[in-house]
Amino acid sequence: MMDNEIDRELLEKIADMLGKPVGAFNIRKDSGCDGRQSTEHIEITGKEDKPGIDIRVKDGTVGETCHIPVIITKPGIEEMVYNDFYIGENCDVNIVAGCGIHNCGDQTSRHDGVHTFYVGKNSHVKYTEKHYGEGDGKGGKIMNPQTVVYLEEGASIQMDTTQIRGIDSTKRYTKIVCGKGAEAVITERLLTHGDQIAESDMEIVLDGEDSKGRVISRSVAQDESSQVFYPRMVGNAQCFGHVQCDSIIMGNAKIKSIPAITANCTEAQLVHEAAIGKIAGDQLLKLETLGLTEEEAEDCILKGFLA
Amino acid sequence: MLELKHISYTVREDGNELGILNDISLTIDDHKLVVFTGPNGGGKTTLAKIIMGLVKPTSGQILWNGQDITDLGITERARLGISYGFQQPPRFKGLTVRNLLTLASGDDKLSKDKCCQYLTRVGLCANDYLDREVDVSLSGGEVKRIEIASILARNSQLMIFDEPEAGIDLWSFARLTETFEQIHATGTATMIIISHQERIISLADEVIVVGDGAIRHRGAAADILPQILADTLGGCPVLTKEVKA
């Protein structure tokens, strides 16, 4: 486990893992299992019928973290993985996922992950997912994550996803179904450069009375890269939903942002905002008057925007 | 010491040359508080921007502490000790008040106490503002006061403020004038303040009236203020006619 520098760096980048992880974990490396540990409250088992794992969190588990990183270090690996999370009732847990690809070869490396969460009554899940790619080979680094979440009564999920540089092509699909009083907060941060392509398709279904959904998407597209956002919020009951997409466009990049809100109930309150623009000239000038160079000012604005 | 020598700035509009500033020469000694005032569109902001490097003059020379800075960029001038508080400061999504003050101070480890001091001097409470983003959630007056706090944090030798009072309520304005008075009293910085406010004008060692791209009058506040008031009050022929009728 973590037997070389590349593994260690990838794991640190995507899961903030330094040394042997504490608590429950499963490390998937080059399509195999590179380490697994269950705890008293969190059980991880391999699937028998297809690649992937089942994670079962017992009722009342509070304050535990489960790491499930995936790393690909060999060129030419293409995989489809299914991970299912069964979170009991009255839990409060952190799940840290993430995928790192180191590709020095000419063949494409691809990780497609399908994550399905079943979150029990009154449980809260914080789900963090980072995507990272490195290596100077010509082979593509591709990730296509699908995340589907079912929130029972009073359950909530805070989903933070980050993909800053490195991934050549990504097509993300996220669906969250909220039951009565459930709440979903999704924060998505994305930076593409070169000729990278990123698509994010999102559907938040507010099914239960007093459910809430919030999507905050911030992205930066540089060089020749292109991005498409399609966040949709559907209100089927008395509920509140807010979608906010903000993008900074640079170079010859292209961004398409198509937020959609659908109300199927008179008590549904849904709001969407979308903005695309370049870095404002007066922002750069202000930071230059504080002694930053134009490049430093640009960097500072992007860092703040994606923080 | 700041010296402006024969500064002119012209723009081309519909094929014609339009003079914004015409041959302005001016010297400002260290630790003085100088107010630029005068009618809107007279060239005050352009003149201030030329000092910061935000606008490049068509001709003329700028010397700062004896060094010719005419061809230096904004960043270099900032590093030489010139700072500028914008009349309409930009907003930043994701950048907090603490981030901005830290950047301005140049000290990566700027303490909360220090931030608190800067914010208090513009009438804001650090606990309410430090972690807030400098974005559209702040009112115009709040952004303006944070802008001025960033100049205080910068603690530079030459501080330029473009209409610091604009958009600020009366109570905060009183606090702000005290702050300008304190900086002036400690004699640590030269200040150029663009203002129309009598209270700020009365703080000045020297008042420079800029109009039609030239210096119309200059002198002590006590001498200039009565002239400004006289000009201002006699300004409306229509109103005068109505009053007479």
Q: Whose CA is closest to B101, among B163, B148, B138?
A: B148
Please, which residues have CB within 8 angstroms of residue A138's CB and are 6 or more apart in sequence? A105, A106
CA A190 to chain centroid, in Å, comes to: 9
CA B29 to chain centroid, in Å, comes to: 17
Question: Does A275 contact B at CB distance below 8 Å?
Answer: no
Q: Do B54 and A285 touch (CB under 8 A)?
A: yes
Distance CA A182, CA A151 (A): 6
Question: Does A287 contact B at CB distance below 8 Å?
Answer: yes
Residue type, A65: T
Q: Can you give the pLDDT of all 307 residues of chain A as single tens digits?
A: 556 777 777 777 777 777 777 789 998 888 888 889 999 999 999 999 999 999 999 999 999 999 998 888 888 888 889 999 999 999 999 999 988 888 787 788 888 889 999 999 999 999 999 888 887 777 788 888 999 999 999 999 999 999 888 888 999 999 999 999 999 999 999 999 999 999 999 999 999 999 999 999 999 999 999 999 999 999 999 999 999 999 999 999 999 999 999 999 999 999 999 999 999 999 999 999 999 999 999 999 999 999 8
B95-105 burial, b for 16+ CB within 10 Å, e for fewer? bbbbbbbbbbb
User: Of A164, A189, A245, A289, which to mutate for an interface test with B (greatest number of B Cβ within 10 Å)?
Assistant: A289
Distance from CA of A244 to the nearest CA of B (A): 13
- φ, ψ for residue A276 (rounded to 5)? -130, 130
Question: Does A306 contact B at CB distance below 8 Å?
Answer: yes
Q: Whose CA is closest to B48, among B154, B204, B180, B164?
A: B164
pLDDT tens string B174-186: 888 999 999 999 9
pLDDT for the residue numbered A9: 78
Distance CA B5, CA B2 (A): 10
- Biggest CA–CA distance in chain A, Å, is 62
Neighbours of B125 (CB within 10 A): 10
Enumerate helices (H) and strands (E) in chain A, giving the number of each.
Answer: 3, 21
Task: Identify any residues that bridge with B82 across adjacent strands, giving them in sequence order.
Answer: B158
In which band, very low, low, confident or very high, does the pLDDT at B123 lie, cut at 50, 70 and 90?
confident
**CB A119, CB A154: distance < 8 Å:** no
pLDDT for the residue numbered B243: 54
Q: Which secondary-structure segment (H or E) carries A71?
A: strand A70-72
Distance from CA of B242 to the nearest CA of A (A): 44
Minimal Cβ distance to B78: which of A218, A283, A288: A288
**Better pLDDT: B170 or A41:** A41
Let me know the angle formed at the C-alpha of A170 by A9 and A72, rounded to the nearest 5 degrees: 35
Residues of A in contact with B74 (CB under 8 A): 285, 288-289
pLDDT tens string B75-94: 999 999 999 999 999 999 88
pLDDT for the residue numbered B233: 57
pLDDT at B203 over 80: yes
A58, two tokens: 């017992």
pLDDT for the residue numbered B239: 56
Q: Do B150 and A290 touch (CB under 8 A)?
A: yes
* ipTM associated with this complex: 0.92
User: Of A191, A286, A295, which to mutate for an interface test with B (greatest number of B Cβ within 10 Å)?
Assistant: A286
Task: Identify any residues that bridge with B49 across adjacent strands, giving them in sequence order.
Answer: none
Q: Whose CA is closest to A257, among A273, A241, A268?
A: A273
B23, two tokens: 């041959």
pLDDT for the residue numbered A46: 93
Segment B215-242 shows an average pLDDT of: 74
pLDDT for the residue numbered B235: 53
Q: Do B79 and A287 touch (CB under 8 A)?
A: no
Q: Do A306 and B103 touch (CB under 8 A)?
A: no
Residues of A in contact with B150 (CB under 8 A): 290
Q: Do B86 and A280 touch (CB under 8 A)?
A: no
In which band, very low, low, confident or very high, does the pLDDT at B242 lie, cut at 50, 70 and 90?
low
pLDDT for the residue numbered A52: 92
> In 3-state terms, what secondary structure has residue A207?
coil
pLDDT tens string B35-90: 999 999 999 999 999 999 999 999 999 999 999 999 999 999 999 999 999 999 99
Distance CA A145, CA A147 (A): 7
Question: Does B69 contact A at CB distance below 8 Å?
Answer: no
**Better pLDDT: B162 or A79:** B162
In which band, very low, low, confident or very high, does the pLDDT at B244 lie, cut at 50, 70 and 90?
low
**Better pLDDT: A255 or B238:** A255
Q: Is B60 left (phi over 0), alpha (psi -120 to 50) or beta?
A: left
Residue ranges covered by each domain of chain B: 2-81+156-244, 90-155
Question: Does B73 contact A at CB distance below 8 Å?
Answer: yes
Question: Does A12 contact B at CB distance below 8 Å?
Answer: no
Fold of the CATH domain B2-81+156-244: Rossmann fold (3.40.50)
Q: Do A288 and B92 touch (CB under 8 A)?
A: no
pLDDT for the residue numbered A134: 80
pLDDT for the residue numbered B240: 57
Mean pLDDT of chain B: 90
pLDDT at B234 over 60: no
Long-range contacts of A58-63 (CB under 8 A, 24+ apart): A58/A88, A58/A91, A59/A88, A59/A89, A59/A90, A59/A91, A59/A120, A60/A88, A60/A89, A60/A90, A60/A91, A61/A88, A61/A91, A61/A92, A61/A93, A62/A90, A62/A91, A62/A92, A62/A93, A63/A92, A63/A93
Distance CA A163, CA A225 (A): 14
